[in-house]
Structure formats: C-alpha cells, structure tokens
C-alpha cells in the first residue's frame, strides 16, 4: 500500500510545538518533510527539558518523527539561495515565526509566489487580524484568550489551563487540515494560497459548547450545571463547572476504591437518560425509576448533587477497573481516569500504533505517540526524529540535484554549518 501524501514535499520552517505538530502529521501521512534549522542551534526544543545529557530532548523527539533535517543559515547569501531553490520545488511551506519575521527574511508572500506560484504557505499565528494581531502567543495564553481557561476549573476557584495542549497541538491539527484542503483545491485551480490558523481561533473552536452555553444563558439558568441544583444564581457569563459534563447528559468524576492513596482512583460517570433504569438498579435505588423527583431527565437536574453522591457511594466500593467492567456490561457510559504510567503500559495502544517505542542514536530508546488518525491504505511507520542537520548533504544532492563540488562550495561558505555523519545504524 502507498502513502496518502506520497509526492508532497513540505518545507518545514517551524519550531517548538504548534508548527511541528502539523508537519509531523503530514510526515506520518507520507509527505517528505524537510525541517530547516539554524546551524549549531536548531529547534529550541532540542535542548529544552533535556533528560539525557547531550541528546535531543523528548520535547523535540516526540514532535519531529519522520522528518529530514537540513541546517541552513538564511542570512548567508549561499544559504538564502539554497532556501529559494527549496521554495521552488516544494508544495507546502509551513512557518510559525513571530508576526512579520518571514517578511523581514525577504520572503514575503509576493516573493514566495514569484518563486513558486503553486506553493501553499501555511502559518500559525497567535491571533488573526485585529487588535492583538502582532502579539506573541504561547500555549497557556491561547487557552486564556480562546475561552478555555475562563470556563475550566471549579466555580469558586481560579481559572485553569488544561494539560491537553489545545493551543499548540490543537492549532497544528487545524492547520494540517487547512493544508490538505488547499492541496486539494490546487488540483482544481492550479494555484497555491495562504493558509492561516490562529491559536485563539483553534482554542475557541474546541470551546464552541461554551459559546453555546453563553447564548443559552441569556434565556435562563444552565440547568445541567451543578450550581442550578444548589440554588445558586448565575451571572452574565458562563461559569466554571468543575467536572460537570459539557453536554446534555450530566456527568461527574467520582471517587473509586483506593482514592485515599491513589490520585487517579476515579471514574467519569455519565447519567445517560436511556440507561437510567440500569443505573438505579446497579446502585441499589430501584425506586428512583418511578419517583417523580428522579424519573425524568428534567426532574433530575435539581437533584444532581444528591444523585452523584449516591452513585459515588457505589463507585467507592469498587476499583475504577471493576466499576468500568460492571458499567460497560450494562452500556452505562463511563471511563476510568488513567495516569500516564497506566497508559504507557497499555499493550493495546502499541498494537494499534498509538504508542511507539523508537531507538535514537544518542538518547537510546524512547516512547512516543504515533499517528492518532488511522487510514487503512496509509502504510507509514513512525520513525525517529532527525539529528540536527542529519540530512543536509542528502537534501542538497537528492532534492536539489547538486553535485559534489557545488555541495562542497556551499559547505565552505558556512551556509549549512557542520553536517552530521552517522555510522551505519
């Protein structure tokens, strides 16, 4: 079987997380991703949060699988010429520089189009056009400006950011979809175009249910929120709702057996209406099936705290896995709170390629997350991340078709810095 993006060449001018997430996904689908890095330095994450001395950090290795690395000093005239030649033959250029950085390098959209009118220029920025357009943005800033933090946490506590990287990785996923969409449109028009994904926009897209609730709030209280059952008034903005479900089926995180010593001995339990009778039976409250205070979803809303307290008394008598087995057998929706340690030990995730163990020439074996999107006809193995400049000579020769003398001249000019030579692996 082939690869979904066979023949697509991507010029990867990204760093840290949002851009590399996007280009790694394209590489997993078979695109030839050429990561352009500064000689001697490379992507800043190579050295951030380093756990093995003199080796690329996990921060870098887990975001740059299946890519090739070329070192290039774009301020060097020879380096700039090499970059121009790469622009001419690439299908996509992806960047997540600070606003205006690409223009200052001499690569305005107009100049890029002169070099290659079919290229897709894809950019991650913090904000779209508007008052904050020129501001730098990081993960947690995006979560705050996109509406996530204001609606995350408990009602009486601080706004909270989520551990899920919805600002960085979430934006990268959105941008990847924009790129493949633009590539498809190019088959119809023959033209390239710009693709922009702002981090604020991506986070807001993930938070659309809270924008839904903001509009509902104008018409009355949010009855599925805990504070409604507690008789507490709502303000004029969507409140933080703890672990209440964000949908129409009330849900909570509940303690399970061992919670006193295990910080993850919890389960998420949803009181889905179609299985309410089974819930009543399993927790030992069969009379709730006909009691007018509990029999219908609307009647239950003012009593959610009482209901979940009773359910929790049942879950606390079982481990999260015992509860999961019993509830799953009754089609009652639930899910254990799994720690990263538990997830890393789940053999089924390795079988599907969701988790992959790779071998790296300087750091040894490491665990990484594989492609979360499975295509039956996309046969691409997850490969380790490249060393800094590992493929410089290979790209100059194979991609640009340069001969040995020309490559030596470029190296002598200082345009590519020191090139990496690996012993046979």
- Which amino acids are annotated catalytic? 168
Q: Is 355 annotated as a binding residue?
A: no
What Rg, from alpha-carbon coordinates, does the chain have?
A: 26
Q: Is 249 annotated as a binding residue?
A: yes
3-state secondary structure of 123: strand
Q: Is 38 annotated as a binding residue?
A: yes
3-state secondary structure of 394: helix
Residue whose token pair is 């023959």: 190
Q: Is 37 annotated as a binding residue?
A: no
Read off the tokens for 241: 């709702």
Q: Is 138 annotated as a binding residue?
A: yes
Q: Is 72 annotated as a binding residue?
A: yes
b/e map of 43-53 (b: 16 or more CB within 10 Å)? bebbeeebeee
Q: Is 414 annotated as a binding residue?
A: no
Contact 48, 57 (CB under 8 A): yes
Q: Is 175 annotated as a binding residue?
A: no
E strand intervals along 48-182: 67-71, 92-95, 120-125
Q: Is 87 annotated as a binding residue?
A: no
Q: Is 73 annotated as a binding residue?
A: yes
Q: Is 18 annotated as a binding residue?
A: yes
Contact 243, 233 (CB under 8 A): no
Read off the tokens for 401: 């078709």
Contact 306, 238 (CB under 8 A): no
Q: Is 137 annotated as a binding residue?
A: yes
Q: Is 210 annotated as a binding residue?
A: no
136 phi/psi in degrees, rounded to 5: -80, 150
Q: Is the dihedral of CA 200, 180, 44, 169 positive or negative?
A: positive
Q: Is 139 annotated as a binding residue?
A: yes
Question: How many other C-beta atoms lie within 10 A of the C-beta of residue 320?
Answer: 26
Q: Is 17 annotated as a binding residue?
A: yes
Q: Is 96 annotated as a binding residue?
A: yes
Q: For residue 419, give the DSSP letter.
A: P
Nearest C-alpha neighbor of 388 from the set 359, 354, 362, 423 = 362
Nearest C-alpha neighbor of 181 from the set 169, 164, 193 = 193
Residues comprising the binding site? 17-18, 38, 72-75, 96-98, 104, 136-139, 247-249
Could you list the residues known to form a binding site for substrate, using ranges. 247-249
Q: Which residues are annotated as a binding site for CoA?
A: 17-18, 38, 72-75, 96-98, 104, 136-139
């Amino acid at each position: 079987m082939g690869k979904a993006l066979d023949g697509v060449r991507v010029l990867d001018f990204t760093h840290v997380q949002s851009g590399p997430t996007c280009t790694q996904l394209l590489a997993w689908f078979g695109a030839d991703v050429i990561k352009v890095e500064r000689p001697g330095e490379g992507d800043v994450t190579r050295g951030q949060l380093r756990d093995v001395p003199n080796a690329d950090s996990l921060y870098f290795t887990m975001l740059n699988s299946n890519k090739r690395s070329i070192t290039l000093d774009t301020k060097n005239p020879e380096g700039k010429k090499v970059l121009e030649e790469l622009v001419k033959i690439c299908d996509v250029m992806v960047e997540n520089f600070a606003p205006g950085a690409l223009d200052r390098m001499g690569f305005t959209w107009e100049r890029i189009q002169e070099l290659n009118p079919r290229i897709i220029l894809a950019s991650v920025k913090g904000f779209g056009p508007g008052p904050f357009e020129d501001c730098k943005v990081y993960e947690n800033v995006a979560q705050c400006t996109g509406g996530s933090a204001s609606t995350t946490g408990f009602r009486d506590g601080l706004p909270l950011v989520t551990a899920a990287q919805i600002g960085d990785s979430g934006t990268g996923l959105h941008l990847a979809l924009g790129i493949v969409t633009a590539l498809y449109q190019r088959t119809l028009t023959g033209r390239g175009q710009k693709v922009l994904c702002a981090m604020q926009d991506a986070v807001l897209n993930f938070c659309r249910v809270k924008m839904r609730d903001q509009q509902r709030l104008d018409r009355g209280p949010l009855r599925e929120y805990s504070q409604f059952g507690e008789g507490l008034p709502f303000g004029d903005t969507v409140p933080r709702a703890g672990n209440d479900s964000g949908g129409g089926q009330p849900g909570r995180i509940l303690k399970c057996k061992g919670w006193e010593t295990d910080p993850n001995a919890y389960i998420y339990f949803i009181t889905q209406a179609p299985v309410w009778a089974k819930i009543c039976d399993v927790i030992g409250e069969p009379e709730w099936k006909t009691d007018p205070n509990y029999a219908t979803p609307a009647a239950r809303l003012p009593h959610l705290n009482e209901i979940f307290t009773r359910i929790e008394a049942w879950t606390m008598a079982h481990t999260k896995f015992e509860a999961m087995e019993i509830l799953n057998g009754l089609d009652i929706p639930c899910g254990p709170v799994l720690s990263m340690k538990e997830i890393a030990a789940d053999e089924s995730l390795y079988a599907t390629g969701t988790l992959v163990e790779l071998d790296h020439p300087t750091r040894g074996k490491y665990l990484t997350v594989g492609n979360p999107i499975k295509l039956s006809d996309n046969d691409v193995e997850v490969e380790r991340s490249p060393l800094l400049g590992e493929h410089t000579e290979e790209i100059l020769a194979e991609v640009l078709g340069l001969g040995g003398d020309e490559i030596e001249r470029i190296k002598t000019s200082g345009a590519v810095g020191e090139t990496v030579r690996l012993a046979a692996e």
